[in-house]
């Protein structure tokens, strides 16, 4: 079932998390016993279904603004019998508001908005919770930015690098950059002194 979703997504060029990144994410959830998860960027539900399968007590809120993706995610989640565990919100991330606190916020939507998302959802992170950001090396392009021919891609990659620098210098977080995992994952824990 999950393999079918993956194959179809790859065939249709839907951007889903890479195997290495997914493995890391699932291990992280197990090790930290994360139960409440917010995901920014559902696509067809591949990563949320994988996360929900870790443990029946896990609950995921996941946000998607593309109607086609949203509908396909609902079908996939229903087929996997995970409707009780995964709640897909059909709206732009920017408009999503909740008082809920999460153990993990997995950020996998518009790369240029990662810092904004961090500010938007910081209060929704439990005090020992973490953000995980995907695509931090963006297919390796962050290492060769000046040679990127396409202007839009170059501008996006520059924004990812800027985000990475902002996070390194943001004293609210302790960060670990796993550049060799999947498409590059950045993990940000709230600093102890910042915890409310
Ligand atoms: C990389 S895909 C998510 C992949 C998914 N997490 C997985 O690994 O299976 C990013 C998704 O975020 C959605 N997205 C991008 N910007 C968004 C926004 N501002 N609000 C809601 N969804 C957004 C896109 O439509 C796309 O489906």
Name every residue whose Cβ is closer than 8 Å to that of residue 55 and which is 6 or more positions away in sequence.
Answer: 29, 30, 35
The answer to whether the CB of 157 is under 6 A from ligand 1 is no
End-to-end CA, the chain: 41
pLDDT for position 191: 87
> Residue 195 pLDDT > 80, yes or no?
no
The answer to whether the CB of 76 is under 6 A from ligand 1 is no
Mean of the per-residue pLDDT values for the chain? 96
The answer to whether the CB of 47 is under 6 A from ligand 1 is yes
CA of 69 to the centre of ligand 1 (A): 9
Q: Tell me which residue has its CA closest to atom 27 in ligand 1.
A: 43
| Phi/psi-derived region of residue 187, left when phi > 0, alpha when psi is between -120 and 50, beta in every other case | beta
Identify the band that residue 194 occupies on the pLDDT scale cut at 50, 70 and 90.
low
- pLDDT tens per residue, range 127-170: 999 999 999 999 999 999 999 999 999 999 999 999 999 999 99
Nearest-atom number in ligand 1 for the CA of 22 is: 8
- pLDDT tens per residue, range 160-184: 999 999 999 999 999 999 999 999 9
Give me the domains of the chain, ranges plus CATH numbers: 2-194 (3.40.50.150)
- pLDDT tens per residue, range 41-66: 999 999 999 999 999 999 999 999 99
Decide: residue 140, CB within 10 A, 0-12 exposed, 13-18 middle, 19+ buried: exposed
> Residue 196 pLDDT > 60, yes or no?
no
pLDDT for position 92: 98
The answer to whether the CB of 60 is under 6 A from ligand 1 is no
**pLDDT more than 90, % of the chain:** 96
- The C-alpha atoms of residue 142 and residue 154 are separated, in whole angstroms, by 9
Shortest CA distance to 69 belongs to which of 79, 77, 61?
Answer: 77
Q: For ligand 1, pick from 8, 16, 41, 108 the residue to mutate: most ligand atoms within 8 Å of CB.
A: 41
- pLDDT tens per residue, range 23-43: 999 999 999 999 999 999 999
């Amino acid at each position: 079932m999950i393999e079918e979703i993956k194959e179809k997504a790859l065939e249709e060029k839907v951007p889903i998390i890479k195997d290495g990144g997914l493995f890391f994410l699932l291990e992280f959830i197990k090790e930290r016993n994360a139960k409440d998860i917010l995901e920014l960027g559902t696509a067809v539900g591949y990563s949320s279904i994988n996360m929900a399968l870790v443990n029946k007590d896990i609950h995921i809120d996941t946000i998607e603004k593309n109607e086609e993706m949203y509908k396909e995610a609902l079908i996939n989640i229903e087929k996997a019998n995970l409707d009780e565990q995964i709640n897909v919100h059909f709206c732009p991330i920017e408009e999503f508001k909740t008082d809920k606190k999460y153990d993990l916020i997995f950020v996998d939507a518009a790369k240029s908005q990662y810092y904004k998302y961090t500010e938007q959802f910081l209060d929704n992170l439990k005090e020992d919770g973490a953000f995980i950001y995907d695509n931090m090396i963006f297919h390796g392009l962050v290492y060769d930015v000046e040679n990127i021919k396409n202007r839009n891609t170059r501008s996006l990659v520059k924004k990812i690098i800027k985000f990475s620098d902002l996070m390194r210098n943001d004293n609210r977080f302790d960060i670990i950059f796993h550049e060799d995992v999947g498409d590059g994952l950045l993990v940000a824990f709230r600093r102890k002194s910042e915890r409310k």
